[in-house]
Amino acid sequence: MSTPTCTTTGTTTGTAVLDLADTVVMTLLHDHVPLALLCDLTLPDGPTSAAILAAEGEPETRWWER
């Protein structure tokens, strides 16, 4: 797994700019989607969502129904 990086841009030194993918991932994490699930889903030949759910069980709060 690679380490995410941020680029700086604009006239203010050190201003971090997140790209769209970073924003989407951070939003999912904020909404309590498990990091392990996001990592599993990035693997093209990885397990299906149903297999992950069967192995890990459902969370107490069903975040996908909010």
DSSP code per residue over 10-66? SSSTT-EE--HHHHHHHHHHHTT--HHHHHHHT-TTS--HHHHHHHH---SS-GGG-
Q: According to the model, what pLDDT value does residue 27 have?
A: 92
Residues of the chain with pLDDT under 70: 1-18, 63
Q: Which two tokens stand for residue 55?
A: 């192995």
The four Cα atoms 49, 39, 66, 20 give a dihedral, to 10 degrees, of -130
Q: According to the model, what pLDDT value does residue 45 have?
A: 84
In the chain, where are the structural domains located? Answer: 21-65
Q: According to the model, what pLDDT value does residue 43 have?
A: 80
Q: What percent of the chain has pLDDT over 90?
A: 6
pTM score, whole prediction: 0.44
Q: Which two tokens stand for residue 62?
A: 């069903």
